[in-house]
Structure formats: C-alpha cells, structure tokens
Amino acid sequence: MTGKQRRAYAPRMPAEQRRAQLLDAALHLVVHQGLAAVSMESIAEQAGVTKPVVYGMFANRGELLAALLQREQEQGLLQVLDGFPDLSGADALTGFLERYLRAVQEKPDRWRCIVLPMPGMPKEFEAARDDARDLVLARAKDLAAGLLEGFGKPPGMDAEILAHTMVTLCEMAARLVLTDPAHFSPDRFTAAFRATLGLVR
C-alpha cells in the first residue's frame, strides 16, 4: 500500500485538558524553535493530534497565542508572588530565592519565555511581561522596606534600589539556571546569597 500513512485519532480527553495540551505544545515550539515555527499545523503535530482538534479549541493562531500568553504570565506571576515571604529578614529573602529558582527548574519553558529574550514575540507579550515585572517590583519594594526597618533603617539604604537589586538578582540567577544548569544550581545561589548576607555560621 502506498501513500501517506493516516495519523491515528487522538484519544478523547476533557476540553480543559486538551486545551492545556495544545498550549503546552505551542509553548514548546515558541521556546525551542521560535515564534515563526508556531502554526496550527505544527501545534497539531507537536501535540500528536489532527488540525481539526486544534481548530476545535482555538479559532486561529492569534487566539491560541493570546491564550498562551495569558496562561504563562498568570502562572509565572502567581509562582513569584506566592513565594514572597510574609516576614521580613535575610533568612526569608534567602528562602524566597531558593523557592523561586526551584520554580524555574520545575517549569523551564515558562521561565524561558519570561526571563530570556524572545525575538519576534508580539508587542502584547512584551507589555504583559513588563506589567508583571512592575507588580513583582512593587511587592519587592514592600519587602525591602520591611527588611530595612528590621535593620534599623541603615543610613543611605534605599528600599526602591534594594527592590530593583533583588529582582535583577532573581532574573540573572534564573537565566543562568536555565542556560547552564550543570554549572549553576539553586543551591549554589542560595549558599552564595546567604554568605553575602553574613548568615553563614
């Protein structure tokens, strides 16, 4: 028998599960092949389904990418904000850095979209990423203010500058954990951060 082999039908699954499967496939393509590689056909192939299955969940590529953007931004922001400590103090900061980097390890494709350059991404993606960073910065500023209060407000210390430093440190650490995991681990960053803060006993 000749001709292209017919693809087996994808097993049925609940709509929300199928939606998540297709968004996961799109995320994989965006991160590993770039935005230009994302099409309804390539998503179907990555997910192991037929194109009608994809069109049954999303009207077009734009709608699918918008849904992907919303999901990754919401979930990434939730991971970060949930990790912020309730109590001020250097121990709490070290714990947050460790939890954050563990989250990066658990969902590497998500965090590649958030902390690494993604050429060709829609302007909406960049705007949403900036908005999410502003929210994190605002929470970090509150945390920094509480930390400085606990240290008796040392002269010259600035909560806003400290907040930017904290967020930049987290972003830099996440990039290294993602791009060179064999050399940079969450444990290594945590130990270095603790030592820098003078917490090694």
For the segment 91-114, what is each residue's pLDDT rounded down to a tens digit? 777 888 888 899 899 889 888 888
**CA dihedral in degrees (108, 111, 112, 115; nearest 10)?**
-150
Q: 183 lies in a domain?
A: yes
Q: How far apart are CA 174 and CA 101, in angstroms?
A: 6
> Is residue 31 located within the same domain as residue 80?
no
> Is residue 104 located within the same domain as residue 20?
no
pLDDT of residue 200: 41
pLDDT of residue 123: 79
pLDDT of residue 182: 94
Q: 86 lies in a domain?
A: yes
Within a 13 Å sphere around the CA of 20, how many CA atoms are in the beta-carbon half?
6
pLDDT of residue 122: 74
pLDDT beneath 70: ranges in the chain? 1-11, 83-90, 150-152, 154-156, 198-201
pTM of the model: 0.74
Q: 3 lies in a domain?
A: no
